Structure 1
Amino acid sequence: MTTPTWDPAQYLRHAGHRARPFADLLARFPEPPGGRPRIADLGCGPGNATALLAERWPTAHITGYDNSPAMLDKAHTDHEGPTAGGGRLDFAHADLNTWTPREPYDLIVSNATLQWVPGHADRFADWIAALAPGGTFAFQVPDNIDAPLHALMRELAATPRWQGRLAGVLRRPDTVAGPGAYLDRLARLGCATDVWQTTYFHVLAGEDPVLDWVKGTGLRPALTVLADDPEAREAFLTEYRDLLREAYPSAPYGTVLPFRRLFGIARTGR
């Protein structure tokens, strides 16, 4: 899988739909211990979801971590600084393949990021060990790698025209585990664990909205590889667009994108 180059503006074009699963996860969080919680947001992107944490806990010191300079620049510009309740929101570079907390956190959360981190479940033990007593680790990941938008992307990339440039570039089908595997991993680490799935039926507006959606996320590795060849990039997008139009037909009220997501919350008993 190629490390993608991110485009904050493209990602934020569907910010409302993308933020809804995080808001649903946030609604299930237990309250952190203490009056000024320390919170880490792993894979904060442009910071719009991180800002929801500051709204929920305005006294907290919250740090969003990401490995994309473009996303961090957007987060610094739009969201960094003191919060209404005397807390603080800041952002820093981190690679989640190796990031290990240097201080105790009351809450470590990751929203729609871990699917980009191979073997991410192996990092859970280090992150949970860094939680303060009664602290919480929570995450949400897309769980739709078998959906047409991903399957068609992979099938197209494997055709003779594209396989020479795109073989091994896209996310593999095993980048997200099943809910039972996550529950077992977290429970064996001594956590009280809650894992569930939800399928959202997003009604998207505009021309080719599913293509527009995936250009901000799952398609980024292919767009990164083809960035130096605009003609090839547009040819690939045209072929993929035509496949998506058939798989996700438009209706008078918009285009429906079913999107399954997986959620996990693990609370320590220490």
Structure 2
Amino acid sequence: MNTQTLEYIIAIAEEKSISRAADRLLVSQPAISRQLKRIEERLGTKLFLRERGEMILTDAGKIYVNGARSVQSVYEHALEEIRKLEQSGKRRITFIYNNALLPDFSVDILPGFRKLHPNTQISTIDGNASVAKDYLSNGLADLALIATREASHSMLEFMPLRDEELMLALPCSHPAIPAFEKNGVDLTLLQDEPFILNQQNSYFRSLESEILSRCPFTPDILCEIRDLNASSNMVANEKGIAFLPRSVYADADGCRLFSLPEPVIFHVVIAYAKGIVLTGPIRDLIMLLLKNAPQ
């Protein structure tokens, strides 16, 4: 992960100028220009347009900068936690997971772990599968709980926890519910509905894109949200429709969940880097995750 490149792009966006970004970061203007060119060539799209002498973000640029800021925030949090660890003298496990996939971690798992290992701290990072794979592969995290369709990974070990289904979520008052209960989901009946989707480059967004690619219409995207809990609340409050994991949300949350015509099944796995030696605390954390997995 090249956080310096992310810093370059964020600086250009904030300064609206390559030269001012270079002055701010104390680097040469050609160095920043080269990095920007490499990224745009790799993505196959422009991140900035020049208007009236200023660098203005394109739609793709806005998505990239928002993602860059999220990654930078997670990275800075990790560094801060490392500094705290060095000061405390305690051992630490860095664990990445999406809170929506493990909502009861602090209640069902963390207290049991503390009893077993009172001198080992667990530093948690709320991150998606992309962040988790990057951190694990680069030695910045010890363990992660991620959603995936892959049975294996070239650099990571996967330990199956449970299977999940991504389902269509409607407000309980939605008029299409009787038809869907009788005949199953027909997404063409929702072509005028606002969709609440996950952020670009997330695993769940890739599943959503796959679902929507089979629709004969272009969805009206109300917003893109990283937090599945926020998506659920928006659906319950009749702001739009979304796709949510089966085991996380029930009808009592104000949402009705329906299987899609072609069910979208994915795996929730415990992941760690291949070749590492699992310490006693990490093995015990894995055992607690397996013991408390939803049936």
TM above 0.5: no
TM-score interval, smaller chain: under 0.3
Structure number, greater radius of gyration = 2
Higher relative contact order (CA 8 A, sep 6+): 1
With structure 1 as the length reference, what TM-score do the two structures score?
0.28
TM-score, scaled to structure 2 = 0.26
